[in-house]
Structure formats: structure tokens, C-alpha cells
Structure 1
Amino acid sequence: MGVAVEEVLKLPVLEKAKVQTDLYDRQVDWISVIETPVENFVRNNEFVLSTGVGCGDDVLALEGYVEDVIRSEASVLAFATGRHLYKIPDRVLKLAEKHELVVMEIPWEIRFGDILQDVLRLISEEKRQEQQRTEEIRQELINCVLNGKGLQEITSIVYQNTGIPTAISDHNKQIRANQYFDRYYIDVLNGHELPQEGTLVETDIDSDHPLRHYIETYEIGNQKCYQLTILSNYKKQGYILFKPKNEKDLTWVNLHILDHALTACALYFVKENAIEMTEIRLKDNFLLDLAKQEREMDRALLSKAQLLGYDLEKPYICLVGHIRFVQPEEERTSSTMPQVKSSSINSRNYYIQKEVTHAGDTLHRRTMTTFDEGEVIVYLETDRPDYEETANQFLDLIERRLHELLKGITISWGISCHKGGYQAFNKSYEEAATALKIGQQHEEGERTFFSDTRMNRLLMALSHEEEIGAIVSDTLEKLIDYDQKRQTELIHTFMIYNKYNSNVSQTSRALNLHRQSLLHRLRNIEHLTGLSLLNADDLFLLELSVRLWLLKKVDA
């Protein structure tokens, strides 16, 4: 932020000043009176006034003084001639020209105070105009967002007012807007271009603007580009990328405009997130109502679904998943690992939603997804005859990618394909939820199709009969009590024994038990239940009782 040297020379107080060098393209940010020694009293782009006192008769001393001013990167050096200095030596002028320092002579009778006053007034007026301009640009950027325009308009305003190529990306480095920013540098920063890589280096922009401390600098070959992080609510929303032709373009004014653009981008992402969250809530509520309420497929429902981007006239299967996190063993036992969940609920649901959408796109199938109390509910478009194969392909895609993103996640699935018609979505959800409940008797991460649960559903219906419940309780009471008090697994042992058709060798291998230990457990089961595992009727009664008890346990 400063005034061009030509503008300073137009001041009436400097009308009689004589410029002894070329008028280089320099600007004046400040003005001061400095005599020898200079040391660190002169700043960059400063207009220096001097009488040459102590140097007038000593050319070498004067040359040293000018060298000090040059090192300070001042713009102008003006000598008051007529008392201590009568003429600036040619060797001093050549030195100044070599380093593009503007040197002038001012008549002795012109007071430094008058020069200081007029130059400072000019600089102040220039600053006021620049501040007014940047304020107008700030208002334009904010109005751009408030009036529903997007990130592309923001980059356009920045480029029009700074001439600096600019791009805006989201937090995943996906470019959302671009104004003459070289795509090559974007690819390098995203790791898509080799062999060169963008190297993060210390920012050395010569500016006192506060934004300087937030700029990240990347070296790409012998080029540099810059990045600002867009934050809102302490969350990283995206980045502003900009690449000036040279660092001189990063003036105080241009940095101020970039700062205002940063604010506008943060406001845009807040607005976008609010709209997205509202849309998500509307979709969630709609799908939950569709799944859990008996709804007639009338024109009003189809129209509402269409507004939300859903087509309910397509055939869908329903998948209900129970989400569970298991912390890896090495994390549980390591003293250096923090004992925290792998992911918050919001971010967990975000990743699941993302993978559901990706899997649907891969299979060219529509999907509708919502979440409810630790469950994910998905409606997947499919052709009914091969719905089991489609469901398995779909879940394979989700789980393979999801396990890489969220360590320790396990999802058990219940899957149903209703025949359609009245209340099709509600019926398919209830069937999928029933299949999930039945599948949870077994290992976590199981997939259970409603069509494969006929025996279990029959048992569930029987389990509600009081007399049957009494028989189950009488049969298993001592066995359940024994397992609970002694922390044994007699019921599980029986289920494995029954699975292998009473084969002792196969059961002992499956349970990793010595044969004699297994026989001891089986004798305990017979003793506690009063039933013989060699009697077919007793074996059937015990199996039926255990399965009914497990179903009721899951139902509870």
C-alpha cells in the first residue's frame, strides 16, 4: 500500500525538486528524515530526506551512506542541497542508478516539515482510497454469496481486482472454481503429477499484512504457488489456491482482497453445509416415515419423493444393518494407543453414506439411505429374480472399502425383497429388520436374507406361546444358571455339537478342546437338563429349547 514516485513529485512542495536519476517504477509507503548512520532506521519503499550533514566533503562517506539506504530498499533519497552538500557526485548517482534508487535534489530553503506534511497527507489519502476500494470489494464478495452466487463468481471478482490466477477447492482438494489457475499445479498439489512434487516451504512474502502468517507456500520446480485454508466453526472447509506472476503482485491491497475472499468462501461453505444438512434431514425423515409407517403409494407421496430426488416406482430391496465397532487387539493392549472410538457417529455415518452411494453408482443402481439408532437402512434398486446376488455384490463393495476407512467396523445385515404393492417399503423394512434380528444370534457381520428365515420365524411365533415358554424355561433353567455363575459355555458347546451332528471329533476341533474336556461338558449338559444326548427326542427338545431361548434373547 503506497503512492507512486511520480505522484509524489506532482506535489507543489516538490515543484522545484530536481530528479538526478531515472524515475524507476517504485512506490512510497512512508517518509522520514535520516542522517548517517542509517543502521536499521529505514524501511522498504521509504522516501528518505537528508541534508548530507557529515558527508558533504567526504565522497566515500556519502557513498557509504547511499549504500546503506540502498540496502534498506528505500524508494527515494532526496538531498537538501546548498549548505552541507552542493552537488551529488557522479559516482554516487551511478551507484543509485545501478540499484534503481531514485535520487533527487531539493533546494535548501524548502522545509522538511512541509515535505513531510504533504507526502504523509498524500499517502494517507491513498490509503483511505485503497481501504474504501477493498471495503467495496469485501461487500461485493459477501453479496455474491448472499445473493446465491457461487465460488466461481468469487474467483472472478478476485481475479478482476488483483490479476492473480485463483482457484478454490473443497477440503478433499476437489476444485470447485478456477480463474486462470494452471491445472498442472493443481494436479501436482493433489499428487497426480510426477515426477515433480509440491514441496511445502517457509513463506517468505515481504509484507506486514496479517494474512501473511496464514499463507502456505509450495515450491514446484522453480515455481511457487500459495494456499490459504478456508475455516468455519474451526473446521477445514477448503482452500484458496493462487499463483501471482511474481511476489510483487502480493501487495497489501491484494492480500486484503484475498483475506476478504477467504471470509466469503467460509460464508459460502457454511451456507452450503446448512442447505445440505437441511436436505439430509428432510431425506432422513422421509425415508424413516417410509420405512416405519404404513404409507399408501399415492400421487402425493410419489411427488414428494421426486422433489427429494427419489423414484419410488422402481423396484427396491431393503437392507437393514446394525453398526458395531470393535477396537483392534493391538490398540486395546498397547499403552501408547488412546482408548477412544474409531470415529464419531456423524463421521461414521458420513463414510457409510458415501460408500453406499459409491457402490450404487458402480452397479448403476439407485440407492436411498437413512440412519436410525445405530442402524443403517438402505433401499437398493434391483431386479427381483436375482436380488440376492445383487445384494451380495453391493455389500461386498461397501464393506471392502469401508474396512479400509474405519478400522474395527462390523455391520450385520438383514435383507428383504418385498413383492411390492401397498405398503411395500414398510413391509420390506419390517422383514429386513426381522432377518437382522434372527441373524444376530450368530456371528457379527452376518448377512441374513428374510427368505432364508422360515424356520426361525416359525420358532419366533412359537416362542410367544406361554406353555411353550414354560417348557423352554424348565428345560434350560439349570443350564443357563450354570453358565452364568461359572462363566462356562455349555449352551454354545451344545449348539456346535448339534451343528456337527453329534460328531465328537469335529466338535472338539471346532471348539479347540481336548476330546475328554468336550465329553466332560456333554455329561454336564445331560446332568443339568436331565436329557440324554443319545436320545433323538431329548436331542430335538434341547435343540428346540435352545433356539427358542436365543430368539427370545435377541428379541429382548
Structure 2
Amino acid sequence: MGITVKDVLQLPVMKPAKIHVGNERIETSQVEWISVIETPVENFVRKNEFVLSTGVGCGDDPDCLEVYVKDVIHSGASALAIATGRYIFKIPDRIQQLALEQNFTIIEIPWNVRFGDILQDVLAEISKEKEFEQKQAESVRQELINCVLNGKGLQEIMTILFQYSKIPVAISDHNKIVRANYDFDQRMIDVLNGVEEGDYELIPTEETPFRDHPLYHYIEEYKIGEQFCYQLTILSNYKKQGYLLFQPRDNEELTWPVLNILEHALTACALYFVKENAIEMTEIRLRDDFLLDLAKSEVEVDKQMLSKAQLLGYELTLPYICLVGSIRFKKKNNQIEKAGEQSVLSSSMNSRNYYIQKEVTHAGDVLKRRTMTTFEDGEVIVYLEADDHPYMETSNQFLDLIERRLNELLAGINISWGISFPKNGVFVFHQGYDQAVTALNIGKQQHEDGNRTFFSDTRMNRLLMALSHEKEIENIVKDTLQPLILYDQKRQADLIHTFIVYNKYNSNVSQTARALMLHRQSLLHRLRNIEHLTGLSLLNADDMFLLELSVRLWKLKKVEEE
């Protein structure tokens, strides 16, 4: 890429020119600019610049000319062309020897060749070459973009990038896991991927020939063991998607055209990750909708449904335990916050759901069981593959794995679970969900976060729930407890809770007083109030049964209303 000293010498205007020293370098010496520079050189000459000089001010002073030539050589110029016939009539042998020692090209131009003509023709060639490079870069850009749009992957992007840059390249995701590479150092890949032990650190980027390129300020240099590489961060919507890694043999390879190609590759990689994320989000929505429909509707699992499930990665012909979890988080003041409340931002909810989903998948992998998971309104629905072991044992083992890791990742999380495993086991997803929700709601009666309630343990509660919907029974409960409810509201008392504890300890006054941290006489006063307000005797078995049944039905009703 670019024109060389040889290309400059082949121009018609340079036909009279004569090479004195450095003929072997003219094919490899790049020319990026041309200028007329006289003494002093200072910092006016750039790297790869073709320098024209008349030698004015140095013609009668060989030492001055030698200093001038040394300065041009040290500036990194491509070649020095000196016009002879006015100030300098012959290039001194000591200057030619200096150029020979420094492997530098010295050219003699007759005085009658106008510098203006040389400048015009060389600049025209440089302009043509720049235009060609721009067209080539645009062609590469289009090829990279089409690669993404045509459904090809990161490896194809790397192949195209290497084809045009000839530099070993790799792409990693935001976790530094290398996903594609072309000719990149394998040990560096193994260290980044965690296959091999090793440290990598960010080091300051040294002075480089590509400092003037707009991409320079975004390039980071990494040291991995004794190896070095550069990286560019792949961003999309200000979100870090991954890294483009490249490993030139030396910085001379990082020319402007190569950096332009890297910049286009960066755009193509960002587009790929955006497309990948969009596909992933679409798949997640399809899977969520499918599982919600499976759980909440009486759908027939036919061949079409089985085929759709397989496309989404699900196997419906297996028996599944259904687990429904209610997600809550503790606020700083120890209050409980529902995960579905408006105060929780959607981005935070997505993050929490991500961690829960990740741990569900991990637990399933550990137990070697399939899982299917979805979320809705602060509720997580999980279908866990069952086997010959008791479903309670399997469920507890599964939830233990999840909650142990979740408590480390999400501080203050509490998930109450309802768990069900219908007897026939297969194609009973809606039945399993309904039973798990019932178990979850019954478990909430205990007002304890993080509890697990199995549907098979809720027979008494389900019987009570069925009774609670009978109108006549509802009236009996209301008549029995209404005086206690009104008294508790008016006096800020807790007579109903007092009765619950009293009944729990089988009417033992001493144990009840200790549990409530009350003086014995205070407890007896409360118990007399209960009898007075309800008209029931706590010494009568039938009255005790009526009061206990009424309290339990009232609590069930209260949970349902919440």
C-alpha cells in the first residue's frame, strides 16, 4: 500500500535523476508526503517523507551539509533528493558514505528540473494512491457489513480482516472469552479463555507511528506473559459487547490503511453483536410466551406443540415437577419489597431474572436434569425434570443449590416456593402450575419469606379453602370473629394472634405467656376478653373447634385477598 521511492523515480519529471546511494531500498521505502526542506531540519520532516533540497546555506560548508543530511536521516525520511548545479555541484563522498552507513537513499537532481513540477507530479501520485486506498477500505467495509447481514459469523469477519491486514486478529466477548481468531497466538487465547494459567495486564501505549490516526486514542495495549497485543473495545448503544484483538509483528504494520480496515471491522463486530442480541432477545420472548401459555392455559400437547417445543430446546415428553416462586427483596429498613412493584426498575428486574435463570440452569446441570424457566410479574415458574426419587427430595436438593448461590449474588433476596408433581406426571403442565400456585398461596399464610410448600402437604388447607367459599360458612366466620377484629383495630391489640398461640400450645397458659412474652395475668385478661367478645368458652371443646376453624378460614381468605 502507498507509493515507493521507486514509483517516484519512475515519473517522467524524475527521468534526469540519478541515485547515488541506497538503490536497494527504493522498492521498499514508502513515500507518504513530499516537501522542500532546507537547513535547519529541526522537526519539519515527517516519517516516510520524500525531501527535496537545493543545499542552500551548506554549499560552502561540508560540515553543515553533513549535519543537515544526518538530521534528515534521523527524521525517518524516505529519501533525500539534492539539486546540483547552483549551491552544490557535486555530492561529497563523505555524504555518500554517511548515507551508505545509514542505509539511506541519496538522489541527485539536475538544477534545471523544477521542484514545483516534482511536487505536483508526486502529490498527484500520492493523491491517486490515497483515493485507491479509500476505495479499497470502502470495499472492505462493505464486504464486512455484508458478511454480517448475510448471516455469517465472527470467524468469517476475522478471515476477511486478516486477508486485508495480514495481522493476526481475534474477537472476544465482554468476558474476554475468545470466540473467533485468525492466526492469533494460541497461548494468549488459552490464557484469556482460562484454559491455561497466566496474567494479563494493561500497559501504557508507547510512541507509535499511528499516533495521528483517530483510532489511536481508543487502542489499548495488553501484556500477556511475554507477549503483547492491542485491543479495541466493541461498543453498541454505549454498552460494551466485546473486544477486537490484533497482534502486529511490529508497529510498522499498523499503517493508516490497516487502521482504517480495523475501524471498519470494529463496526462490523458491533453490528454482529447487536444482531446476536436481538436474536437472543427474540428467542427469550418466544420461550417465555411458550412456557407461560403451557403453564397458564389448558393446551393440548399435540405433535405441533411437541415440534415447536423442540425448536425452542424443550422436551415435553418427560415428567416435570412444577415450582412457582414469589420473589421478594428486603429494603434497607427491613421491609419486604415485591419484585413486581413499580419502585423496582425494569432494568433491575431483568438483571435479577438473569441471575435467577442462570442459577436454575446451573442447578439443573449439576443434577443432570432438564429445566424450563420463565418469569411474570415478580413470579418465577420452573419445570424440573423428575425421576424415580421422591419429588420433595429432588425439589429440596434443586432449590438448595439455587438459593445457596443466589444469596451470594443478590443480597436480601427471598423466594417463597410452591411445589407440585401431579400423579400422572406427563403433559400436565397447567395442572402442575395450578397446584404449585395453590401451595404457594397456602404457604404465605405462615408469613415467612423463603418457605417451601409442597402441594401434597396442603390437604387440610385445601379443604378449608373449599369451605371458605361457602356463603353460610363465611357468615359464621364473620359473626364469630368480627368482635375480635374490631377490638384489635380499635385498641391496637392482638387477640386473634393471642388465641392462635394459645391454641398452638394446647391451652397451656404458662407456655403461651412465655411465647408472647406476657405476664401470666395479662394473658389471662386477654383470654377473658376473647371469651367475652365471642361469647364462646375456651374450656369448651366445641367452642374451641369453632374458634380455631373460624380463625384458619379467616386467614385463608385474607391471603387470597392479598
TM-score of the aligned structures, taking structure 1 as reference length: 0.89
Give the 3 Å change call, closer, same or farther, for CA 221–296 of structure 1 in structure 2.
closer
Q: Secondary structure at the match of 2:405?
A: helix
Say whether the 8 Å CA contact 1:384–1:417 is kept in structure 2: no
Given that 2:177 and 2:192 are in contact with CA atoms closer than 8 Å, whether structure 1 keeps it comes out as no
Distance in 2 of aligned mates of 1:498 and 1:514 = 18
Q: Which residue of 2 aligns with 1:168?
A: 171
Q: What letter is aligned with 1:325? A: F
Match of 2:77 among 58, 63, 74: 74
Partner SS for 1:35: coil
Aligned equivalents of 2:513, 2:107: Cα separation in 1: 103
Distance apart, 1:38 and its partner CA: 2.6
Alpha-carbon separation, structure 2, partners of 1:234 and 1:226: 21
Q: Pick from 248, 257, 265 the counterpart of residue 269 of structure 2.
A: 265
| Distance (whole Å) between structure 2 residues aligned to residue 245 and residue 516 of structure 1 | 90
What are the Cα deviations for residues 368-397 of structure 1, in whole angstroms up to 9, with x where unaligned?
111122111111111255211111111122
Q: Which moved more, 1:411-420 or 1:525-534?
A: 525-534
Can you give the 5+ residue segments of structure 1 that lack an aligned partner in the other structure? 333-338
User: Are 2:494 and 1:466 equivalent residues in the alignment?
Assistant: no
The separation in 1 between residues aligned to 2:399 and 2:2, in whole angstroms, is 63
Structure 2 residue corresponding to 1:550, chosen from 535, 540, 555: 555
CA distance in 1, matches of 2:73, 2:531: 102
Rounded Cα–Cα distance in structure 1 between residues aligned with 2:20 and 2:507: 111
**Given residue 240 of structure 2, which amino acid in structure 1 is its aligned partner?**
K
3-state DSSP of counterpart to 1:378:
strand
- Cα distance in 1 for partners of 2:328, 2:145 equals 44
8 Å Cα contact 1:342-1:406 kept in structure 2: no
Aligned pair count reads 550
Deviation of the 1:191 alpha carbon: 6.2
> Alpha-carbon deviation of 1:153?
0.8
- Could you tell me which amino acid in structure 2 is paired with residue 277 of structure 1? M
Whether the 8 Å CA contact 1:151–1:265 is kept in 2: the answer is yes
* Cα displacement (A) at 1:102: 2.7
Q: Indicate whether 1:445 and 2:450 are aligned.
A: yes
CA offset at residue 553 of structure 1? 1.8
Task: For residues 494-540 of structure 1, give each alpha carbon's deviation from its aligned partner in whole angstroms, at most 9, with x where no partner exists.
Answer: 54454444556666666677778777766666666565656544444
Give the Cα separation in 2 of the matches to 1:144 and 1:348. 35
Query: How far, CA to CA, are the matches of 2:525 and 2:56 in structure 1?
Result: 111
Q: Distance in 1 between matches of 2:261 and 2:7?
A: 24
Q: Deviations over 1:436-481 (max 9, x none)?
A: 1111222111111110111111111111122322333333334444
Distance 2:433 2:45 in 1: 77
How many angstroms apart in 1 are the aligned matches of 2:58 and 2:333?
80
1:305 to 1:193, Cα distance in 2 relative to 1, 3 A: closer
C-alpha contact 1:343 1:406 (8 A) present in aligned 2: no
What corresponds to 1:58 in structure 2?
61
Q: CA deviation at 1:327?
A: 3.5
The equivalent of 1:88 in structure 2 is 91
> Structure 1 residues 470 and 83, CA, compared in 2 at 3 Å: closer, same or farther?
same
Question: Shift in Å at residue 150 of structure 1?
Answer: 0.9
Q: Which amino acid counterpart does residue 411 of structure 2 have in structure 1? A: K
- Matched ranges for 1:342-421 at <5 A: 344-383=348-387, 385-420=389-424
CA distance in 1, matches of 2:203, 2:499: 63
Structure 1 residue identity aligned to 2:459: R
Normalised by the length of structure 2, the TM-score is: 0.89
Q: 2:460 aligns with which of 455, 463, 487?
A: 455
Which is worse superposed, 73-82 or 472-481?
A: 472-481
How many Å separate the matches in 1 of 2:208 and 2:475? Answer: 82
1:180 to 178, 183, 189: 183
> For residues 76 and 237 of structure 1, do their structure 2 counterparts lie closer, same or farther at Cα, with a shift above 3 Å needed?
same
Q: Residue 29 in 1 paired to residue 32 in 2?
A: yes
The corresponding residue for 1:17 is 17
2:136 to 111, 133, 138: 133
Does structure 1 conserve the Cα–Cα contact (< 8 Å) formed by 2:317 and 2:427? no
Residue in 2 that maps onto 1:206: 209
- Corresponding residue SS for 1:346: helix
Are residues 462 and 340 of structure 1, via their aligned partners in 2, closer, same or farther at CA, if it must alter by over 3 Å?
A: closer
- Partner residue of 2:339? none
Counterpart selection for 2:49 from 46, 57, 62: 46
Segments of structure 2 that go 5 or more residues without pairing to the other structure are 337-342
1:475 pairs with 465, 480, 503, which one? 480
SS in 2 for 1:441: helix
How far apart, CA to CA, are the structure 2 residues paired with 1:323 and 1:506? 35
Distance (Å, rounded) in 2 between the aligned partners of 1:500 and 1:200 = 70
Contact 2:321 2:385 (8 Å CA) reproduced: yes
- The CA distance in 2 between the partners of 1:304 and 1:85, in whole Å, is 87
Secondary structure of 1:344's aligned partner? helix
2: CA distance, partners of 1:49 / 1:542: 110
Distance 1:504 1:301, change over 3 A: same
Q: Which amino acid aligns with 1:424?
A: V
* Offset, 1:331: 13
Match of 1:4 in 2: 4
Give the Cα–Cα distance (whole angstroms) in 2 for the partners of residues 255 and 78 of structure 1: 30
Q: CA deviation at 1:550?
A: 2.1
Q: Could you tell which deviates more after superposition, 197-206 or 311-320? A: 197-206
| Aligned equivalents of 1:58, 1:516: Cα separation in 2 | 121
**Contact 1:189–1:198 (8 Å) recurs in 2:** no
SS of 1:168's equivalent?
strand
Cα 1:449/1:421, change in 2 over 3 Å = closer
Shift of residue 155, structure 1, vs aligned partner: 0.8
Cα deviations by residue, 1:29-49 (Å, 9 ceiling, x for unpaired):
111112223333222221121
1:95 offset after TM fit, Å?
4.2
Q: Which residue of 2 aligns with 1:116?
A: 119
1:391-435 Cα distance to aligned partner (Å, 9 max, x none): 111112222222222222221111110123786111111001111
Once residues 334 and 97 of structure 2 are traced to their aligned partners in structure 1, the CA distance between those partners, rounded to angstroms, is: 73
Instruction: State the alpha-carbon separation in 1 of the partners of residues 286 and 295 from structure 2.
Output: 14
Amino acid at match of 1:296: E
Sort the Cα spacing of 1:60 and 1:527 in 2 relative to 1 into closer, same or farther, 3 A.
farther
1:151 corresponds to which letter in structure 2? L
